[in-house]
Amino acid sequence: MTSVLKKFRRDLKFRYGRQLRQLNYWLVARAAMMIISVLRLLPADSALNFADRVARRVGPRVGRHQVAVDNLRKAYPEKSEAEIQAIASDMWGNMARLAAEYIFLDALFDYDPAATSPGRVEVKGIEHFVEIAAEKQPHIVFTGHLGNFELLPVAAATFGMNITALFRPPNNPYLADYILSTRRSTMGSLLPSMAGASFALAGVLENGGNIGVLVDQKFSNGLETTFFGRPCQSNRVLGTLARHYDCDVYPARCVRLPGNRFRLEIEDKLTLPRTADGIVDVRATTQLLNDVVERWVREDPGQWMWFHKRWEIGGRRRKRPPQAEAPVAGA
């Protein structure tokens, strides 16, 4: 009898817990859409500056602020508490601007190669954009959550680059629908990060397409790597795909500039580390990606999302031998 009651309570808790979670998602989404409606009434610059000011006040009062501060203290043990708090404040301002910029994405991206005067967006590494778009072979472009990283696929489309961007939808399904509709109107092909995504990415490369991937998030049971000298787990998929298709890999980033301006940059392609028999070393390549992102973050620490639990280690698993890398489609 006792076991039956326990099961009934668990089922009841699960059922109502799920309903409460959905209600919370709906309420948060409604509040977000109300804020968006208000921001739409303002000119773009006024809306973005307002969002920045509010976030700098509200951010330190939310639970994730402590996560961000703890991460900053460990990444920058030499910095004072005032410097740590200043970076965290910049981060909240950057994240608020990113959220508000979804509303004005079409207006913000004003890059015109033929323009004689600078606009909001400047591009560095134009030759790489053009080269990737022209070459009839697969490429991988990777970035991190820096500045407004959403502008990179918009730039790729402007240069005629056929690229499929992998993205992680928000947990809130109501907000996810809104953000996805905004992205699809400006960014070309999008692929949600879910089960089977690596096979879909492999299919794009198999057909000579290009893929864009964010590489700076925690990946449970991923490869053991380091970031800012601290152990973390990283997704092996980019290194595995680069090894299988032996394609060029390019770093790209967005740097937020003063005055609500942006610099989009594609750097020179990476020289990928290889094993003694000449194939791409997946583990070393994954570490190399972390090192590139770390360099970017050190240059502009306030433009990265420090509240992400990048260094949280998930359930460890037994290490597999090097030959047992995860398969990709067509392998």
pLDDT in tens, 279-322: 999 999 999 999 999 999 999 999 999 999 999 987 554 444 44
Residue 12 has pLDDT above 60, yes or no: no
Q: For the chain, give every domain's residue range.
A: 117-324
Instruction: Report the SS3 class of residue 51.
Output: helix
Choose between 117 and 143: higher pLDDT: 143
| pLDDT, position 321 | 40
| pLDDT band, very low/low/confident/very high, at 326 (cuts 50, 70, 90) | very low
Residue 175 has pLDDT above 70, yes or no: no
Residue 215 has pLDDT above 50, yes or no: yes
**Burial class (CB within 10 angstroms; exposed 0-12, middle 13-18, buried 19+) of 296:** buried
Gap between the Cα atoms of 173 and 307, Å rounded:
21
| pLDDT, position 274 | 97
- Residues 71-95 have a mean pLDDT of 97
Gap between the Cα atoms of 263 and 257, Å rounded:
7
Structure tokens at 119: 């606009």
Mean pLDDT taken over the chain: 85
Residue 329 has pLDDT above 60, yes or no: no
Choose between 7 and 213: higher pLDDT: 213
Instruction: Report the SS3 class of residue 205.
Output: helix
Q: Is 330 left (phi over 0), alpha (psi -120 to 50) or beta?
A: left
Direct distance between the N- and C-terminal alpha carbons of the chain, in angstroms, rounded to an integer: 53
| pLDDT, position 41 | 85
| pLDDT, position 185 | 54
Choose between 22 and 191: higher pLDDT: 22
Summarize pLDDT for 86-122 with one digit per residue, the tens: 999 999 999 999 989 988 887 888 888 877 778 899 9
Alpha helices in the chain (DSSP H): 2-40, 44-58, 64-75, 81-101, 105-108, 126-134, 151-158, 173-184, 197-206, 237-245, 282-299
Q: Find the range with the poorest average confidence among 52-56, 97-101, 252-256, 263-267.
A: 97-101
Residues in the chain: 331
Neighbours of 142 (CB within 10 A): 22
Gap between the Cα atoms of 43 and 168, Å rounded:
29
| pLDDT, position 317 | 47
CA distances from 32 to 21, 39, 176, 178 (A): 16, 11, 12, 11
pTM of the model as a whole: 0.84
Alpha helices in 246-307 (DSSP H): 282-299
Summarize pLDDT for 59-69 with one digit per residue, the tens: 999 999 999 99
Give the single-character DSSP code of 274: B
Residue 36 has pLDDT above 80, yes or no: no
